[in-house]
Structure 1
Amino acid sequence: MPTDDPLSPLLSLGDITQLAAAATGAVAAVHRRPVNLRRAEITGSESVLRGARTSALLDGAQVTLDAEPTGMLGQAISVYGLLAPDSLQTSARTFNRAPLQILARMDTLAGGDGVPATPDGAGRLRVLAQVIGSGAHPALLPQIVHGEILAREIFGGRSGVIARAAGRLAAVATGFDPRGLAVPEPWLNRHRGDYERAAAGFAEGPEGVRVFVELLLRAWTAGAEEAEAIARAAS
């Protein structure tokens, strides 16, 4: 980890160091599953679909297994399409090189015009882009990307789905989840109240950031368990 990592101070807060290690280990173990070494495109596709459907649920959509991909669900599937196996690595490379381009694309796929919805949104995104390009801690950067977009509502009502998809893409780009297998969204949906409260507190200072990052790291560990279930079903 670079000595100038702007996120390194977070490692001294609460249980972040331990939770980051646990999440990193759990996600790495999923990638070593034989089915994921041989057929990651199959398990990755299911991961993306589950993530998109659950993200739509988190935003208040009525989603059933046979639901048509329209409205909020259709938009979520479109945004998460940037994480699909056939486009994942291209999306990750673009995210590392030009993250604002990817975020604008996500916004248009979610029904926006690719422009931040808040007066300070463009400035905040420029700062976030600098953090993305800084070589920040692989397990922490996805949580900060997620939190900044969600808590600041940078893309208005579309911020939730963009934050979750961007957080997952950041995990691929940093190597934290290089094939995009983990599915943290179901855990967030099961703990929706905690997730909403943590997001509300993210912008209030270091303590709020700590709470949010810890919660997201727990979601990633659970997301690795979700990926394990996908791998078992595909074996």
Structure 2
Amino acid sequence: MLPDCLSAEGERRCRQLLAGATARLRARPAAAAVLVPLCSVGGVPALLYTLRSSRLAGRHKGDVSFPGGKCDPADQDVVHTALRETREELGLAVPAERVWGVLRPVWDRHKATVVPVLAGVGPLDLHSLQPNPEEVDEVFTLPLAHLLETQNQGYTHFCKGGHFRYTLPVFLNGPHRVWGLTAIITEFTLQLLAPGTYQPRLAGTRLSGG
């Protein structure tokens, strides 16, 4: 059964669970920050994703991601980075009071720290967004119920030189495959929002940390 994470009680529970990590991590230096927008589409809880522009440079063009980007020296902290980048990429202004907290950081292949920031953005109409075509090709949502269905969950095993290296989650059967760091952050988010329903099958995954 999907918990009512959009209720005041659900929000309060999540904020309390993230409070310690948020206090430790929000002002800590990081390479980048992303916003994990928990929204409501037609009354259904969902997460908002973007499809990165195919015109971008680098290996992540055309990938599914959360809105976000590199931390700027002028940013106050990682929360400020995530909110600023979301506004620039999608035209979506999320008030700071809508931020629930900071999830466990992840690291890209270059060992750069990426900090996920969870926010409850409320009811959302995708047509009201103004995605920057230089950065975003598409915006879409996935209901939490979809992400929690086991047939939509998988894992990808990565090898190098014929030897196993690591395993990452992947979420399937939506408009686009969610994988890589975005899938890891999605997994952390589901652990927080639906602890009795979602149980990661990878050893050592936690929703927050230092």
TM-score by length of 1: 0.29
- Structure number with the higher helix fraction is 1
| Higher relative contact order (CA closer than 8 Å, sequence separation 6+) | 1
TM-score by length of 2: 0.31
- Structure number with the higher strand fraction is 2
